[in-house]
Amino acid sequence: MKIGNPQTPYRQALSIEQAYEGIISAIENAKDLLAEANLLLENQHWARACALAILAIEETGKEGVIFRILLADDEKELKSEWKLYRDHRFKNLSWIIPRLLDLGIIKREELRHFFASNRREHTFYLDRLKQKSFYSDITSDGVWRSPKYCITEDQARAIISAAKDVVGSAPGPLSTREGLELWVKHLKTINKDNQSDWDEAFWNCFMEAKSRGLWDEEELELFLGKYFRKS
């Protein structure tokens, strides 16, 4: 049987409508994956429950990458951002954020430092756990291991708990057509190499989102208090 070539991956710019549809599609799929993970958990299939929960985290991570794609200026940036969109390890960064907040690592500067020094470790851990949840493999001491013997109930429940935090916080308040338009309006043309320009653009974008009723005032104040030093 002849199998045709896979379709060439899309690497072009996104319209606001395309971005919105992409985010909604990803979040809906993430919720389905998490629901299926819970069904597997109830039936004591720890490995597959863990695997689907990790896929739900990765699928939710597409939301943030789509925001990045909207700001890409040229073909080179678009190629780079679409590569991140299809990078499973990059998309699973979002799983650790609620844990950082619990630890009190909540200021923007602290988060940037933390990710700079720990990003590889955290993305590797989750990706490796996903591989162990799906596939049999041989260990460094020459012993073959099956997923059902590698993933414990505690591990599965911990990852599903993390996935609930991640999926439950999505989509974000700017992930509407109007919110995405604001994002592009305030951030598309700034100097991306200038941190103060980023800060000012973020601030102005969030303030306009609040004035339009896109972001609950109390939630926005909590967010800004955590990530910005402005008052």
Residues 11-22 pLDDT 10s: 999 999 999 999
Of 145, 171, 197, the last residue of a domain is: 171
pLDDT at 140: 85
**Is residue 196 assigned to a domain?**
yes
**pLDDT tier at 157, thresholds 50, 70, 90:** very high
Residue 158: Cβ-neighbour burial (10 angstroms; 0-12, 13-18, 19+):
middle
pTM of structure: 0.83
Q: Clarify whether residues 104 and 183 are in a common domain.
A: no
**Is residue 3 assigned to a domain?**
no
Q: Clarify whether residues 116 and 209 are in a common domain.
A: no
21 conformational bin, left if phi > 0, alpha if psi -120 to 50, beta if neither: alpha
Q: Clarify whether residues 132 and 182 are in a common domain.
A: no
**pLDDT tier at 6, thresholds 50, 70, 90:** low
Length of the chain: 231
pLDDT at 98: 56
Instruction: Give the C-alpha separation, 31 to 35, whole Å.
Output: 6
Q: Is residue 31 scored above 70 in pLDDT?
A: yes
Q: Clarify whether residues 177 and 167 are in a common domain.
A: no
Per-residue pLDDT tens over the stretch 180-228: 999 999 999 888 888 888 889 989 999 999 999 998 888 888 777 666 5
**Is residue 220 assigned to a domain?**
yes
Per-residue pLDDT tens over the stretch 82-140: 998 998 777 766 666 555 555 444 445 554 454 444 455 556 777 888 889 999 998 88
pLDDT at 188: 92
Q: Clarify whether residues 127 and 206 are in a common domain.
A: no
The string over 32-55, giving b where at least 16 C-beta atoms fall within 10 Å of a residue's C-beta and e elsewhere, is ebbebbbebbeeebbbbbbbbbbb
Q: Clarify whether residues 30 and 77 are in a common domain.
A: yes
**Is residue 6 assigned to a domain?**
no
Q: Clarify whether residues 177 and 149 are in a common domain.
A: no
**Is residue 2 assigned to a domain?**
no
**Is residue 126 assigned to a domain?**
yes
Q: Clarify whether residues 157 and 202 are in a common domain.
A: no
**pLDDT tier at 58, thresholds 50, 70, 90:** very high
Of 171, 194, 213, the last residue of a domain is: 171
Q: Clarify whether residues 165 and 199 are in a common domain.
A: no
As for how many domains the chain has, the answer is 2
The pair of structure tokens assigned to 224 is 């800004």
Of 149, 171, 193, the last residue of a domain is: 171
Q: Clarify whether residues 99 and 157 are in a common domain.
A: yes
Q: Clarify whether residues 129 and 43 are in a common domain.
A: yes
pLDDT at 38: 98
User: Containing domain of residue 89, as a range?
Assistant: 16-171
pLDDT at 106: 42
